[in-house]
Amino acid sequence: QVRLEESGGGLVKPGGSLRLSCAASRFTFSDYSMAWIRQTPGKGLECISYISRDGTTIHYADSVKGRFTISRDNAKNSLSLQMTNLRAEDTAVYHCAREGPTWFFDYWGQGTLITVSS
Amino acid sequence: EIVLTQSPVTLSLSPGERATLSCRPSQSISSSLAWYQRKPGQTPRLLIYDTSFRATGIPARFTGSASGTHFTLTINNLEPEDFAIYYCQQRTSWPFTFGGGTRVESK
């Protein structure tokens, strides 16, 4: 069964930085595009970043552009999200998700909570 | 950004009844729409993709359809395990966006 496991969440002050990781297993990671999707009570589900299987295509939501950087290491089956200049509105549960053969997200990690607060 | 408006916000039904969920995009998205189910403590589960195709292992009581720019998820003969939150999502253009969700609750 496909497994996606996020780590790196926690409490951070406004303006701070954090790096999320997503460890992928039980599938050929390099064959799939991946994304980071966050959920907040107020804004619901928001797809904030996307990376193609070879890393050549990257997208960011306007809400995080210039502050977050997505990357992947296909040799280590790992997806990352470097987050800088964090704001209170970045408080959310962050999920990594796999874009499946249907071009939609067929597997999601359980998520890691980020709280941005002073 | 394409905004997806889901309605109703909450649907109160009994097991055995039919649930009809709506998703309206703010602009044309062709057929590139999916539906997900989310239960407490679980990750979203892909139900329907490309408007009307059931994902692997999804029971036939889940049906996706579209009429013009109006998309519908129909759940026939609700089972107890179907009470959950349902989200639509488009991938026609970046950013990929989700609707606000419809909660299907037991009456």
Mean of the pLDDT values across residues B88-107? Answer: 96
What residues pair up with B105 in beta bridges, in sequence order?
B12
Look at A35 and B96 and tell me if their CB atoms are within 8 Å: yes
* CA–CA dist B23, B1 (Å, integer): 16
Look at A46 and B87 and tell me if their CB atoms are within 8 Å: no
Q: How far apart are the first and last CA of chain A?
A: 39
Q: What is the pLDDT of residue B80?
A: 96
Q: What is the pLDDT of residue A42?
A: 79
| Residue B104 near residue B14, CB atoms below 8 Å | no
Distance from CA of A113 to the nearest CA of B (A): 14
Residues of A (47-106) whose Cβ lies below 8 Å from B: 47-48, 50, 59, 61-62, 95, 100, 102-106
Which of A37-41, A52-56, B47-51 has the weakest average pLDDT?
A37-41
What percent of chain A is modeled with pLDDT above 90? Answer: 97
Distance from CA of A50 to the nearest CA of B (A): 9
Phi, psi at B76, each rounded to 5°:
-85, 145
Question: Would the pLDDT of B68 be above 90?
Answer: no
Contacts of B101 in chain A (CB under 8 A): 44-45
Look at A103 and B49 and tell me if their CB atoms are within 8 Å: yes
Look at B91 and A103 and tell me if their CB atoms are within 8 Å: yes
Query: To the nearest 10°, the Cα dihedral for A86, A112, A92, A64?
Result: 40
Q: Of B86, B96, B81, whose CA–CA distance to B47 is shortest?
A: B86
Question: Would the pLDDT of B24 be above 90?
Answer: yes
Question: Which tens digit of pLDDT belongs to each residue from A70-103?
Answer: 999 999 999 999 999 999 999 999 999 999 999 9
Mean of the pLDDT values across residues B63-73? Answer: 94
3-state SS assignment for residue B64: strand
Contacts of A109 in chain B (CB under 8 A): 43
Contacts of B97 in chain A (CB under 8 A): 46-47
Distance from CA of A79 to the nearest CA of B (A): 18
Question: Would the pLDDT of B47 be above 90?
Answer: yes
| Residue A116 near residue A9, CB atoms below 8 Å | no
| Residue B64 near residue B35, CB atoms below 8 Å | yes
Contacts of A107 in chain B (CB under 8 A): 43
Nearest CA in chain B to A96: B43
Distance from CA of A41 to the nearest CA of B (A): 10
Mean of the pLDDT values across residues A7-16? Answer: 96
| Residue B107 near residue B13, CB atoms below 8 Å | yes
